[in-house]
């Protein structure tokens, strides 16, 4: 088989600023060892997130020019609505400025004290919005998903027996929604099988609990189903995506992921009454229902992006490029999440830096090392992001200590990816030389964005 090439040519380029290792040591210290506080101009290869960092196509840029900025009833809204309806089959489509705005609206209406929202794994903003409403978020990930180095085809699946047990123990009336995140971002970008979605749907129907999809990476998940699940090899990604959404009552979406947009999101659902409540909140917090939190031009870019993301040549290249980097690291003995996920490579920081205790945040140490050695910026997905404290202010660690290297869509070429592999392997070869970090300043919600740290002496 021949090399799978990038299914695009480059028409416009952005220069990368080069800096030295010494400069990066200084810059990391100045950023209090928090990669979110490093200026992006000081980063060579930015793998902080795949969110809003996609390269838009020439068709999307043309759509930007076509965008109609009418306050109400813009044709751009209707093209956006039609694109979302065609994939999700959901009649009510509510534009928001990004995924978390959809979450804020949804959980303000359905959340509150004493309520539980159950998921395979909630993403950090989703969990934060649930907790901010006073409710509790519950992750019920399948057993395979908890073992980073053990390959399995659908490690994003929900633990269905645990779901049934939780509902029975806590009462269906206290569970406003079950949410399946596809792919499972916090759990390693691992896909969820159609069989699992169907099984969750069945339990939800039995207890009359609506099922929502956190659909940020619905196209990547659909491609994995095509590759790995029996009976889907001959189906198109669009057919698979439509089936996936057919089992859900609604979805939240960040268009900054699988819609190649730099900003945007939406809520879509089948329940008219819930949609009415959402729109009432939308006009207060986002905007009029035909633009939400977006400009008409953004609605066009999203509508076009939703078409492009389901193209087979794109999805084949996309998933292969993640697998390519993952395999290079596996060959070098670097502990990574296996198999490769859909949008990122996840390093297992606990296995990578076994001499650093979890309360000294090995993931964050690894993030700093990758920046210093090669100007590569990743993000910790571990106890800094998800850790809690007990009554004695002792850290309750997260299940996994991961470092995520998220690959922006259509942005980097194969030589960029080769360089990233070289940097990771260099850090791995001198892993014994790194020491831990401690927190000197933090906030109550989403602390990883603003945390300040210093090396443990
Ligand atoms: C990015 C993301 C969100 C939040 O979307 P934003 O557009 O960043 O607000 C929610 N869930 C998942 C799984 C995500 O990846």
- Confidence (pLDDT) at 249: 98
394 CA distance to ligand 1 middle (Å): 29
Ligand 1 lined by 126 (C-beta under 6 Å): yes
Please check the confidence at residue 186 and state whether its pLDDT lies above 80.
Answer: no
Ligand 1 lined by 100 (C-beta under 6 Å): yes
Q: Confidence band (pLDDT; 50, 70, 90) for 19?
A: very high
Ligand 1: which residue has its CA nearest to atom 6?
Answer: 99
For 83-133, what is each residue's pLDDT tens digit?
Answer: 999 999 999 999 999 999 999 999 999 999 999 999 999 998 999 999 999
> pLDDT: is 243 or 338 the higher one?
243
Q: Confidence band (pLDDT; 50, 70, 90) for 29?
A: very high
120 CA distance to ligand 1 middle (Å): 15
Task: Report which of 371, 363, 365, 369 is spatially closest to residue 346, judged by C-alpha positions.
Answer: 363
Ligand 1 lined by 53 (C-beta under 6 Å): no
Ligand 1 lined by 218 (C-beta under 6 Å): no
Ligand 1 lined by 119 (C-beta under 6 Å): no
- Confidence (pLDDT) at 185: 82
Ligand 1 lined by 216 (C-beta under 6 Å): yes
Ligand 1: which residue has its CA nearest to atom 11?
Answer: 123
379 CA distance to ligand 1 middle (Å): 15
Mutate to test the pocket of ligand 1, among 120, 257, 445 (most ligand atoms within 8 A of CB): 257
Torsion of CA 335, 341, 342, 346, to 10 degrees: -30
With 0-12 / 13-18 / 19 or more C-beta atoms within 10 angstroms meaning exposed / middle / buried, residue 235 is middle
103 CA distance to ligand 1 middle (Å): 9
- What does R_g of the chain's alpha carbons equal in angstroms? 21
Q: What is the pTM of this model?
A: 0.93
| Residue extents of the structural domains in the chain | 21-50+312-455, 58-308
3-state percent helix, strand, coil for the chain, nearest multiple of 5: 45, 15, 40
For 380-393, what is each residue's pLDDT tens digit?
Answer: 999 999 888 899 98
Please check the confidence at residue 238 and state whether its pLDDT lies above 90.
Answer: yes
Strand partners for 253: 266
Please check the confidence at residue 187 and state whether its pLDDT lies above 80.
Answer: no
Please check the confidence at residue 1 and state whether its pLDDT lies above 90.
Answer: no
The CATH code that applies to domain 21-50+312-455 is 3.90.1150.10
How confident is the prediction for the chain on average, in pLDDT? 96
Please check the confidence at residue 188 and state whether its pLDDT lies above 80.
Answer: no
Query: What mean pLDDT comes out for the span 6-33?
Result: 96
Query: What mean pLDDT comes out for the span 348-353?
Result: 96
Please check the confidence at residue 149 and state whether its pLDDT lies above 90.
Answer: no
Ligand 1 lined by 49 (C-beta under 6 Å): no
- Confidence (pLDDT) at 427: 98
Largest CA distance in the chain: 61
Query: What mean pLDDT comes out for the span 432-436?
Result: 96
Mutate to test the pocket of ligand 1, among 95, 122, 125 (most ligand atoms within 8 A of CB): 125
Topology given in CATH for the domain delimited by 58-308: 3.40.640
Query: What mean pLDDT comes out for the span 258-269?
Result: 98
106 CA distance to ligand 1 middle (Å): 14
Ligand 1 lined by 326 (C-beta under 6 Å): no
3-class DSSP assignment, residue 452: strand
Please state, as a whole number, how many other Cβ atoms lie within 10 Å of the Cβ of residue 308: 20
- Confidence (pLDDT) at 226: 98
Ligand 1 lined by 185 (C-beta under 6 Å): yes
Is 196:168 a contact under the CB 8 Å cutoff? no
């Amino acid at each position: 088989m021949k090399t799978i090439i990038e299914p695009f040519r480059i028409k416009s380029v952005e220069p990368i600023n080069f800096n030295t290792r010494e400069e990066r040591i200084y810059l990391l210290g100045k950023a209090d060892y928090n990669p979110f506080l490093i200026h992006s101009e000081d980063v060579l290869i930015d793998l902080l997130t795949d969110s809003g960092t996609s390269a838009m196509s020439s068709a999307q840029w043309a759509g930007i020019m076509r965008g109609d900025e009418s306050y109400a009833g813009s044709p751009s809204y209707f093209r956006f609505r039609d694109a979302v309806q065609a994939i999700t089959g959901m009649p009510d489509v509510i534009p928001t400025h990004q995924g978390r705005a959809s979450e804020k609206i949804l959980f303000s209406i359905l959340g509150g004290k004493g309520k539980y929202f159950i998921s395979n794994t909630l993403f950090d903003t989703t969990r934060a919005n649930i907790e901010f409403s006073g409710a509790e978020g519950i992750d019920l990930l399948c057993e395979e998903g908890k073992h980073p180095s053990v390959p399995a085809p659908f490690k994003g699946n929900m633990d269905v027996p645990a779901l049934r047990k939780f509902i029975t123990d806590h009462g269906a009336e206290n569970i406003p929604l079950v949410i399946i995140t596809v792919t499972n971002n916090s759990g390693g970008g691992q896909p969820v099988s159609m069989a699992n979605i169907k099984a969750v749907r069945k339990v939800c129907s039995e207890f009359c609990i609506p099922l929502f999809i956190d659909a940020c990476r619905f196209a990547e998940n659909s491609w994995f189903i095509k590759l790995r699940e029996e009976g889907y090899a001959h189906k198109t990604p669009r057919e698979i995506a439509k089936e996936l959404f057919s089992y859900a009552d609604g979805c939240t979406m960040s268009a900054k992921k699988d819609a190649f947009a730099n900003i945007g999101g939406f809520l879509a659902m089948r329940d008219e009454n819930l949609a009415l409540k959402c729109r009432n909140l939308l006009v207060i917090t986002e905007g009029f229902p035909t633009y939400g939190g977006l400009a008409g031009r953004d609605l066009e870019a999203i509508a076009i992006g939703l078409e492009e993301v389901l193209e087979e040549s794109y999805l084949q290249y996309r998933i292969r490029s993640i697998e390519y980097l993952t395999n290079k690291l596996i060959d070098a003995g670097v502990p990574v999440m296996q198999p490769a996920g859909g949008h990122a490579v996840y390093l297992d920081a606990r296995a990578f830096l076994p001499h650093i205790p979890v309360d000294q945040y090995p993931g964050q140490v690894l993030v700093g090392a990758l920046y210093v050695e090669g100007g590569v910026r990743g993000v910790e997905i571990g106890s800094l992001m998800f850790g809690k404290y007990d009554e004695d202010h002792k850290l309750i660690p997260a299940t996994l200590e991961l470092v995520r290297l998220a690959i922006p869509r259509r942005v980097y070429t194969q030589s960029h990816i080769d360089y990233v592999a070289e940097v990771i392997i260099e850090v791995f070869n001198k892993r014994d030389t790194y020491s831990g970090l401690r927190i000197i300043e933090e906030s109550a919600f989403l602390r990883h964005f603003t945390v300040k740290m210093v090396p443990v002496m």
